[in-house]
Structure formats: structure tokens, C-alpha cells
Amino acid sequence: MVGGTLTNGGCACGAVMSDGTVYLLHFERPISPNSPSQHYCGFTKHGLQERLADHLAGRGSRFTQVAIERGVKFEVVRTWTGGRSFERKLKNRKCLKMYCPVCNPGVRSFHLE
């Protein structure tokens, strides 16, 4: 797992950070031709391992449920300390691939503007 940390001091977006983990999943391939995305961003206030277990058991997001049904493997490739508002900022940018170290090996950390 590749991790990164973004704190209030490092976030130019003004997002309110709270205790929790924002995580980025990378899928080995798109889940369908109609959904070419290979990334999912999520948030958990509880342990990341527990949330990942939910995804793997089909109790996570619909996106991960479909991936499991279709045999598409995925992994956690990035984490940040933050809250739901930070997760929403990432999702709203609609460019999760940009933050993925599998797709962009040189990516380390970033600041939202």
C-alpha cells in the first residue's frame, strides 16, 4: 500500500479535516466498457482494514460490489488523513487517476486548489 498524508496545514482547498481516512482504490481493469473508471475514492472513520474487508465481502460501495461480481481485483494504493469533505473534493475533481501511484508512478503528494 502506498500512503500519503494531507493535513489542514497542507490543504489549500479549505476542506475541513476530521478524524478518518480517505482512501483510493485502483482496479486492475475497468469493470465494464460503459464504466471505464479504474479508481474509487472512499472514506472511513473506522479502521481501513475493516472497510476494505467490507468492500471485499460485497458490503462496500456498489462499484466494488460489481467489480467483485465480475472478478476484477482492486487494491488500496493511496491514503490520506481527512474527512468526508476532503473525499468529496477528490471525487468532484473527477480525476482520481491523477492521484494514483500505479497509473502515475511519480505522484507523491498534492495540494487541492
**Sequence-distant (≥ 6) Cβ neighbours of residue 64 within 8 angstroms:** 25, 40, 55, 56, 58, 74
**pLDDT reported for residue 36:** 86
Q: What is the pLDDT of residue 34?
A: 87
Distance CA 37, CA 64 (A): 12
User: How far is Cα of residue 13 from the mean position of the Cα atoms in its chain?
Assistant: 18
pLDDT in tens, 69-86: 999 999 999 999 999 999
Domain boundaries, the chain: 18-99
Please give the pLDDT value at position 84. Answer: 95
For 16, other C-beta atoms within 10 Å of its C-beta total: 12
**pLDDT by residue for the chain (113 residues), tens digit each?**
333 333 333 344 444 456 899 999 999 999 988 878 899 999 999 899 999 999 999 899 999 999 999 999 999 999 999 999 999 999 999 889 999 999 988 876 555 54
Q: CA–CA separation, 37 vs 5, rounded Å? A: 24
